[in-house]
Amino acid sequence: MIAQELEISLHHAFVEARTKRHEYITLEHLLLSLLRNPSASEVLRACSASLDELRDRLTRHIDEHTPTVAAEREVDTQPTIGFQRAIQRAILRVQSSRKKEVTGADVLAAMFEEKDSHAVYFLKQQGIERRDLLRYISHGVTESPPPLEDSVDVEGTRQIVIFRDAAVPAEFAARVLEDFLMMDQEEIADVLRELDGGGKAVCGLYPRETAEFVVDQIRAYARKHGQSLRCETAIQK
């Protein structure tokens, strides 16, 4: 379930924290280790992050703010709750999307739920948002698909359309929009209002193969959870 490259990054994070006699291993330790992780660093570079600047800020923060164990005591470094939640959240998301392995990139995206952490604060200082990471992880792009008039291959694009009836909880629809279509809270609210008004919402324009892949994922997720949420592709008229 956990990719070997992520196992190595987690091991390095623990070793680094223990070597420095830190009482806890934090999200900041985790992010620092992920800067050397192949999949996580690829996503960060795609989002125009400065890895050197992140490394400097994280190292300084860890050295200045992480409690250390007294010299006479045995070191038993323990993960913080936020650290554990990020790993668990990444595993759950990967399971729901039917991927085989959890990578460093998945953990990086999962960290953004820990909104009060300095790790997320340092990422946001560089203009990085969770939706950008998720778009790159899922589709290989860091921005929303271009509008139809800017698309070179009009015939190769498809809309993703979601249909929701009263039996489908709004919370479930919101989770689908967040996890599979990488929408932020404002975008989710707009789509939910559209679904409440007419039971149907167009959720973006994508390359045809990407749209078909995402729709298949959403359908499987809805079936797994016994929800009647429908999802289709459509040609923009």
Cα angle 118, 69, 35; round to 5? 35
Q: In the prediction, which pLDDT does 146 show?
A: 44
Half-sphere exposure of 220 (CA within 13 A, CB side): 12
Angle between helix axes 4-19 and 27-34 (nearest 10 degrees) is 130
Q: In the prediction, which pLDDT does 79 show?
A: 94
Closest C-alpha among 211, 236, 229 to residue 160 = 211
Q: Is the dihedral of CA 202, 208, 214, 218 positive or negative?
A: positive
Model's pTM, two decimal places? 0.63
Measure the CA–CA gap between 58 and 65, rounded to whole angstroms: 10
CB 162 within 8 A of CB 231: yes
Query: What pLDDT, in 10s, does the model give residues 80-105?
Result: 999 999 998 888 778 766 678 999 99
What 3-state DSSP class applies to 51? Answer: helix
CB 164 within 8 A of CB 199: yes
Instruction: Sketch the domain layout of the chain as residue ranges.
Output: 4-139, 148-234
Measure the CA–CA gap between 62 and 69, rounded to whole angstroms: 14
Which residues of the chain have a pLDDT value below 50? 142, 144-154
Query: What pLDDT, in 10s, does the model give residues 61-85?
Result: 999 999 999 988 999 999 999 999 9
Tell me 167's DSSP state. T
Q: In the prediction, which pLDDT does 134 show?
A: 81
Q: In the prediction, which pLDDT does 150 show?
A: 40
Q: What type of residue sits at position 1?
A: M
Fold designation for 4-139: Double Clp-N motif (1.10.1780)
**CATH number of the structural domain 148-234:** 3.30.1390.10
Q: In the prediction, which pLDDT does 125 show?
A: 93
Per-state percent for the chain, helix, strand, coil, to nearest 5: 60, 10, 30
